[in-house]
Amino acid sequence: MSKPLVGIIMGSQSDLGVMKEAAEVMEELGVPYELTVVSAHRTPLRMVEYASEARKRGLKVIIAGAGGAAHLPGMVASLTSLPVIGVPVKSSNSIDGWDSVLSILQMPGGVPVATVALNGAKNAGILAAQILGCNDATLAQALDRYKSELKEKVESAAKNMDL
């Protein structure tokens, strides 16, 4: 197994149903990744250790998902200069997910989190691969193929709708 390049973390095991979509993208594109639970509130020291060791361990991008008072992506971004992609998770106690979205999106200047849509773990995976694709021609080609397939699907749907 190659060393993971993408760290997928989530605030709770209850986020896994959403966050596994990021892992599926990694599998599909052959990107080595790791996946674990790190809670900003319940395991703050684990979060500090994870974020501050991430670059040394060889990670290039972190995808962090959380719901409710979703402080994990922002706090991780405050502890590392690796790019952090935030996934707002609509957890069961959510006020329609707005709590998660705003907690992750509204970062102060200087500490960016690339926030994807509510439950948008799939796009988080694709964005992580695109970041890695800047320095990996094979991965960039795989992403180009993926985009072409998206285009072909739309074109063939449009053709089938032509009257």
Given CA atoms 103, 108, 112, 114 in this order, what sign does their dihedral have? positive
Which residues sit at the interface with ligand RP5, rule CB under 6 A?
10-12, 14-15, 39, 66-68, 89, 91
Backbone angles phi, psi at 107, to 5 degrees: -80, 150
d(CA 98, CA 154): 30
8 Å CB contact between 70 and 103: yes
Closest approach, Cβ 149 to ligand RP5, in A, equals: 31
Q: Which is nearer to ligand RP5, 15 or 21 (CB)?
A: 15
The separation between CA 15 and the C-alpha centre of its own chain, rounded to angstroms, equals 12
- 46 in a known ligand binding site: no
- 2 in a known ligand binding site: no
d(CA 76, CA 92): 23
Closest approach, Cβ 10 to ligand RP5, in A, equals: 6
Q: Which is nearer to ligand RP5, 104 or 139 (CB)?
A: 104
DSSP track, 128-150: HHHHHHTT-HHHHHHHHHHHHHH
Nearest partner of 54 among 75, 28, 25, judged by Cα:
75
Closest approach, Cβ 120 to ligand RP5, in A, equals: 14
Closest approach, Cβ 113 to ligand RP5, in A, equals: 14
Q: Which is nearer to ligand RP5, 2 or 93 (CB)?
A: 93
Closest approach, Cβ 84 to ligand RP5, in A, equals: 15
Q: Which is nearer to ligand RP5, 100 or 127 (CB)?
A: 100
Q: Which is nearer to ligand RP5, 11 or 125 (CB)?
A: 11
- 145 in a known ligand binding site: no
Residues placed in the known binding site for substrate: 12, 15, 42
